[in-house]
Amino acid sequence: METNLINLIQHYSDESKCRKYLEALKWHEGIKCPRCGSAKISHIEKRNQYDCDECRYQFSVTAGTIFHDSHLPLWKWFLAVYLMTESKKGISANQLKRSLAISYKTAWYLCHRIRKAISETTDKPLLNGIVEVDETYVGGKYDRRRKRGPWEKQAVVGLLQRDGTFEAKTIKTPSKKVLTDVIHKRVDTNATVMTDELAAYKSVNHRAEEWVCGDVHTNGIESAWSFGKTHAHKTVFKRSIVGSYHKVSTKHLDAYLDEFEWKFNGRENPYLFRDTLIRLLNSPKLEFKDLTEKSA
């Protein structure tokens, strides 16, 4: 079922409906004890818990997940996930606070928890085929102590596979070495890497071999960037990141980039809402202090 606000309200309007849905997502192959693996399970309906008939272990669908311990009802979580995945430009904690009638702190926490779950990517396949690389800058938070000081800028590199799979991450500086490292880490050695805007690339004066791994094909790099789909992707990326997140602290920028990546790569996935919930179910708990730590 494709998710929209109407069927979200119809199907997930209360706690037990949401819980049932999470159970269906988590135990779609049948419920099993997380401790001993037994399939002989009794339901303790009153407490939303399950009891293993073999080892007596008691568990629930949210145990050990980020849904657990939050005082927020599940249907508010569902709405938050919907609003975040639905909004192409991203939703601010302030907006979420108003929409869900929750405190700012809760809204902020919720945004970051969902983002964190989204960013916990496991084994992303290397990009292949023709991969375009582009760097941009995203403005950081205005530093009040500097008064009229400049916006702190953060360099970001984007990698776009021609079929539309996109990745972005912050980099220390868009130097040739840093960019080459990113490409070596994230791009298959058989791929053709294209770029024309990198200052670092310009410094090697179109010696494109520097940027191409495997089959050398360097014709038309300029036109590839300027025309067609790829150009639109780049524009969407820059507008979204630069437009919506220009006040984002650079500390959390990678999480925002991951959110953008998740939504961008899922832009034609009618089950993005469901897939995001699955991520949340599989994501370990995240404590408030982990989010607010300086190193985070």
In sequence order, the 6+-apart residues with CB closer than 8 A to the CB of 190 are: 128, 213, 214, 215
CB of 59 to Zn ion, least distance (A): 9
- Tokens matching residue 65: 């997940």
> Rounded to an integer, what distance in angstroms lies between the CA atom of residue 155 and that of residue 177?
14
Q: Give start and end residues of each alpha helix (H) in 159-287.
A: 176-186, 199-203, 221-226, 228-244, 253-265, 272-282
Judged by CB under 5 A, which of 33, 61, 102, 200 binds Zn ion?
33
Residue 14 touching Zn ion (CB under 5 A): no
Closest to Zn ion by CB, 11 vs 32, is 32
Q: Which of 194, 180, 181, 270 is nearest to 234 (CA)?
A: 194
Q: Does 52 bind Zn ion (CB under 5 A)?
A: yes
Q: Of residues 25, 26, 38, 130, which one binds Zn ion by CB under 5 A? A: 38
What are the respective helix, strand and coil percentages of the chain, to the nearest 5? 45, 15, 40
Residue 57 or 142: which CB sits closer to Zn ion? 57
Shortest gap between Cβ of 281 and Zn ion (angstroms)? 20
Long-range contacts at 137-141 (CB < 8 A, ≥ 24 apart): 138/241, 138/242, 138/245, 138/246, 138/248, 138/250, 138/253, 139/242, 139/246, 139/247, 140/248, 140/249, 140/250, 140/253, 141/247, 141/248, 141/249, 141/250
Which C-beta is closer to Zn ion: that of 58 or that of 269?
Answer: 58
Determine which residue in the list 54, 163, 222, 290 makes contact with Zn ion, applying CB under 5 A. 54
Q: Does 31 bind Zn ion (CB under 5 A)?
A: no
Question: Which residue, 275, 283, 286, is CA-closest to 25?
Answer: 275
Residue 39 binds Zn ion (CB under 5 A): no
State yes or no: residue 60 binds Zn ion (CB under 5 A): no
Taking the complex as a whole, how short is the minimal distance between the CB of residue 55 and Zn ion, in angstroms?
Answer: 3
Residues in the interface with Zn ion (CB under 5 A) total 8
Shortest distance, CB of residue 37 to Zn ion, whole angstroms?
7
Considering only 5, 9, 24, 36, the residue that binds Zn ion (CB under 5 A) is 36
Q: Which is nearer to Zn ion, 51 or 275 (CB)?
A: 51
Is position 151 an interface residue for Zn ion (rule: CB under 5 A)? Answer: no
| Residue 111 interacts with Zn ion (CB under 5 A): yes or no | no
Contacting residues toward Zn ion, per CB under 5 A: 33, 35-36, 38, 52, 54-55, 57
